């Protein structure tokens, strides 16, 4: 009886605003607990807790158009705590994105638009893939970086790039190092249009945060240079509104609003417990929760009709916002036709005509140069016609040759700058780069030593998963870096990067291949590309003697074929080991052994070629020997069980590199003896 009486207000013909707000908020709670229950897996607690925040953001503060999730000037929203995906799916469904109630009901099922964690490109309105905690914070910062950069370059009166980036993060997010790296970067850059919310609910999987977490997160973010506010109760919509208004007003610092919430809000037995985090509440508890929240119907996935109408207003509001922007853009375009065309080009991801003509040609006059040096020359040559290419390094600009000479630095005082100083924050750099690429209008590159790709690997994996166009410049690519020793000498990194699906690794053998590698990196749009480059000088390869470097586009090509007849053996190498393979070929020829040398800068590209081409490079029945200064793991696929993979399956050492190559058997003699053994 009590229950029936208490729900009366939902049915009264006119709801007060407070009642309507509550019905809208409860819609998220119901959808979240029911979707998780139906899937028998998922995370109901945080969506239930943060329902008021999502409601406030998606219907009152964010400028977004559910009917066009790709509107260029939309606000960006990142749910960094991706496990709370039902919060985002509910808000997207309720505001009227192309997501149906049936999609919500198919949460976590095969082929549904509502996977366990938000996946970019899969669900309309999802701006990035989240789930690995902390990454989303970095992504949001990258989006704010891209916005600030494009605004600085293109805005006139009127401004055309002018939007906020919002994110929600959880305890796990703020504990992760990647978020700290990125937040420190954002604070230093004073990214004033970035507004984040930290769900301070004191609960993680193992229980109360007091088990492990005593930071004063607010003070920490203040120390990073953020503007920090506190909201004592996420259900206090007035306080939330006020904090958001203040966060918008503060434009010289990123904002963090620390919001207290109760995980599993409304659940009589599970609220404020870790049990509400990652498991269905259970049918009985859901019933009790709905009664406790005074939901007027126990019907699963119930949304009060008035609440749905209220949420769906965002379709009109958003369409109007975009319509107004379209007019603004038309005015802008009239006054600034060239700028507008350039902005349109960049947002469409097209490249300027004629940029490829700037790719340098290397000749004997260039002498023997390291591929990192060649890369720097290529970057600087093409930079004028690829203005969207912006980036830098994690404090290794000089060593990685990634400075665009004469271009200003990207800094709080100059967001138009193109040279980025990511600081010694590789992981943050990776996450920020993903956000930049996801925003659009820029092509980010980021550099460090190949060994430290390990420090950013989770972001590299996500770039691959999200098919993002980001370019990694990884130098000091082997024991060839010499004296710094085994801590700095990559061994397994090439193989482990190659193991990431949709990752493209290119390890060029000389300056000409390096130019080709950059051409590919700029035009390959469906995933990240890692350019793997040497510290040490490489022999100049005379392309009038050897095959043209354009073979890089096929991943592998016959660089130097056997003279006097079909090859008896194929020696495959990459990067700095091509020189060794060519020397071995010469010795073998003197011994009457016909060896072909194949340069294989990219296994991934070679795999994409048709059978006939692959056969033309690596003929069946001809034995193979490979040589690469790294783990042999990725090579057996190419040399087979009858071949030999020469590499390093142990750590390096500190010594001049020529000595290391000798000590570790990366020598022409070793290739010759391996060939002799397989041919015999």
Ligand X SMILES: Cc1ncc(C[n+]2csc(CCOP(=O)(O)OP(=O)(O)O)c2C)c(N)n1
Catalytic (active-site) positions: 426
| Measured distance CA(451)–CA(453) in Å, rounded | 5
Q: Which residues contact 353 (CB under 8 A, 6 or more apart)?
A: none
Task: Kindly provide the residue ranges of all beta strands, DSSP E only, lying in 83-210, ordered along the sequence.
Answer: 165-169, 194-200, 203-204, 207-208
Q: Is 179 in the site for ligand X (CB under 6 A)?
A: no
379: part of which helix (H) or strand (E)? helix 371-382
Q: How far is CA 157 from the centre of its chain?
A: 33
> Which one, 34 or 200, has the nearer CB to ligand X?
200
Q: Is 170 in the site for ligand X (CB under 6 A)?
A: yes
Q: Is 263 in the site for ligand X (CB under 6 A)?
A: yes
Q: Which residues contact 365 (CB under 8 A, 6 or more apart)?
A: none
DSSP state letter for 558? E
Give the one residue of 201, 267, 464, 585 binding ligand X; rule: CB under 6 A.
201
**Count of alpha carbons within 13 angstroms of residue 282, beta-carbon side:** 9
| Measured distance CA(660)–CA(174) in Å, rounded | 43
Cβ atoms of residues 342 and 350 within 8 Å: no
Give how many residues touch ligand X by CB under 6 A.
19
Give the one residue of 51, 104, 150, 203 binding ligand X; rule: CB under 6 A.
203
| Measured distance CA(199)–CA(175) in Å, rounded | 12
Site for ligand X in 34-53 (CB under 6 A): 45-46
Q: Is 80 in the site for ligand X (CB under 6 A)?
A: no
Closest approach, Cβ 117 to ligand X, in A, equals: 8
259: part of which helix (H) or strand (E)? strand 255-260
Give the one residue of 34, 171, 577, 628 binding ligand X; rule: CB under 6 A.
171
Look at residues 229, 225, 252 and name the one whose alpha carbon lies nearest to residue 241.
Answer: 229
Give the one residue of 64, 164, 277, 498 binding ligand X; rule: CB under 6 A.
277
Give the one residue of 133, 369, 436, 573 binding ligand X; rule: CB under 6 A.
133
Q: How far is CA 607 from the centre of its chain?
A: 24
> Which one, 45 or 601, has the nearer CB to ligand X?
45
Closest approach, Cβ 129 to ligand X, in A, equals: 12
Closest approach, Cβ 28 to ligand X, in A, equals: 14
Bridge partners, residue 409, by sequence: 419
- Across 127-147, b (16+ Cβ under 10 Å) vs e yields bbbbbbbbbbbbbbbbbbbbb
| Measured distance CA(332)–CA(244) in Å, rounded | 29
Closest approach, Cβ 38 to ligand X, in A, equals: 20
Q: Which residue is nearest to ligand X (CB)?
A: 172
Choices 95-103, 129-137, 402-410, 414-422 (CB under 6 A): range interacting with ligand X? 129-137
Say whether 209 sits in a helix, a strand or coil: helix
| Measured distance CA(47)–CA(576) in Å, rounded | 52
Give the one residue of 81, 88, 397, 580 binding ligand X; rule: CB under 6 A.
81
| Radius of gyration from C-alpha coordinates of the chain | 28
> Which one, 131 or 387, has the nearer CB to ligand X?
131
Give the one residue of 96, 136, 138, 172 binding ligand X; rule: CB under 6 A.
172
Give the one residue of 61, 64, 76, 83 binding ligand X; rule: CB under 6 A.
83
Closest approach, Cβ 60 to ligand X, in A, equals: 23
Closest approach, Cβ 460 to ligand X, in A, equals: 14
| Measured distance CA(559)–CA(71) in Å, rounded | 47
Closest approach, Cβ 201 to ligand X, in A, equals: 5
Closest approach, Cβ 391 to ligand X, in A, equals: 25
Cβ atoms of residues 536 and 570 within 8 Å: no
Give the one residue of 44, 131, 318, 567 binding ligand X; rule: CB under 6 A.
131
Site for ligand X in 449-508 (CB under 6 A): none
- Across 225-246, b (16+ Cβ under 10 Å) vs e yields bbbbbebeebbebebbeebbee
Q: Is 204 in the site for ligand X (CB under 6 A)?
A: yes
The residues of the shown chain that bind ligand X, judged by CB under 6 A, are 45-46, 81, 83-84, 131-133, 170-172, 176, 199, 201, 203-205, 263, 277
């Amino acid at each position: 009886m009590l229950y029936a009486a208490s729900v009366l207000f939902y049915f009264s013909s006119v709801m007060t605003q407070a009642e309507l707000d509550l019905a809208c908020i409860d819609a998220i709670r119901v959808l979240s607990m029911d979707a998780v229950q139906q899937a028998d897996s998922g995370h109901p607690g945080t969506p239930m807790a943060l329902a008021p925040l999502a409601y406030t953001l998606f219907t009152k503060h964010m400028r977004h158009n559910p009917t066009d999730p790709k509107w260029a000037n939309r606000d960006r929203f990142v749910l960094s705590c991706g496990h709370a995906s039902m919060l985002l799916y509910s808000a997207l469904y309720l505001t009227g994105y192309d997501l149906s109630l049936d999609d919500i009901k198919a949460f976590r099922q095969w082929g549904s638009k509502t996977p366990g964690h938000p996946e970019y490109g899969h669900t309309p309105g999802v701006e990035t893939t989240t789930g690995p905690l902390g990454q989303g914070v970095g992504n949001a910062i990258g989006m704010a970086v891209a916005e600030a950069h494009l605004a600085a370059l293109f805005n006139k009166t009127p401004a055309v790039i002018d939007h906020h980036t919002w994110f929600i993060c959880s305890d796990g997010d703020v504990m992760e190092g990647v978020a700290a790296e990125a937040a420190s970067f954002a604070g230093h850059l004073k990214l004033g249009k970035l507004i984040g919310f930290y769900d301070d609910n004191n609960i993680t999987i193992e229980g109360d945060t007091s088990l492990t977490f005593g930071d004063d997160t607010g003070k920490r973010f203040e120390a990073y240079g953020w503007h920090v506010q506190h909201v004592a109760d996420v259900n206090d919509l007035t306080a939330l509104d006020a904090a958001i208004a203040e966060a918008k007003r503060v434009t010289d610092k990123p904002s963090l609003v620390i919001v207290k919430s109760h995980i599993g809000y409304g659940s009589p037995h599970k609220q404020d417990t870790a049990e509400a985090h990652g498991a269905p509440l259970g049918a009985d508890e859901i019933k009790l929760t709905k009664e406790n929240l005074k939901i007027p119907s126990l019907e699963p996935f119930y949304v009060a009709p008035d609440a749905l109408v209220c949420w769906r207003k965002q379709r009109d509001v958003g369409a109007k916002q975009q319509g107004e922007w379209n007019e603004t853009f038309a005015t802008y375009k009239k006054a600034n036709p060239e700028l507008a065309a350039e902005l349109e080009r960049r947002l469409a991801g097209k490249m300027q005509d004629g940029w490829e003509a700037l790719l340098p040609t290397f000749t004997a006059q260039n002498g023997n140069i390291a591929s990192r040096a060649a890369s720097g020359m290529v970057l600087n040559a093409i930079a004028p016609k690829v203005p969207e290419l912006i980036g830098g390094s994690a404090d290794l600009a000089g060593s990685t040759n990634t400075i665009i000479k004469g271009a200003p630095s990207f800094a709080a005082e100059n967001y138009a700058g193109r040279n980025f100083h990511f600081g010694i924050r590789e992981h943050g750099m990776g996450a920020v780069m993903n956000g930049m690429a996801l925003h659009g209008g820029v092509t980010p590159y980021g550099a460090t030593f190949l060994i430290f790709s390990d420090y950013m690997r989770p972001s590299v994996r996500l770039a691959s998963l999200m098919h993002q166009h980001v370019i990694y410049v990884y130098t000091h690519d082997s024991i060839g870096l010499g004296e710094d020793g085994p801590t700095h000498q990559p061994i397994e990194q090439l193989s482990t990067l190659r193991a990431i699906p949709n990752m493209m690794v290119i390890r060029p053998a000389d300056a000409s291949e390096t130019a080709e590698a950059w051409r590919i990196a700029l035009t390959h749009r469906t995933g990240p590309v890692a350019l793997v480059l040497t510290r040490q000088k490489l022999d100049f390869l005379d392309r009038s003697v050897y095959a043209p470097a354009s073979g890089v586009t096929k991943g592998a090509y016959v660089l130097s074929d056997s003279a006097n007849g079909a090859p008896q053996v194929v020696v495959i190498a990459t990067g700095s080991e091509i020189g060794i393979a060519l020397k071995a070929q010469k010795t073998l020829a003197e011994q009457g052994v016909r060896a072909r040398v194949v340069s294989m800068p990219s296994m991934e590209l070679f795999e994409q070629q048709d059978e006939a081409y692959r056969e033309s490079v690596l003929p069946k029945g001809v034995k193979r020997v490979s040589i690469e200064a790294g783990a042999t793991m990725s090579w057996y696929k190419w040399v087979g069980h009858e071949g030999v993979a020469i590499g390093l399956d142990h750590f390096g050492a500190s010594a001049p590199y020529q000595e290391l190559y000798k000590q570790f058997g990366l020598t022409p003699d070793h290739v010759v003896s391996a060939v002799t053994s397989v041919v015999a």
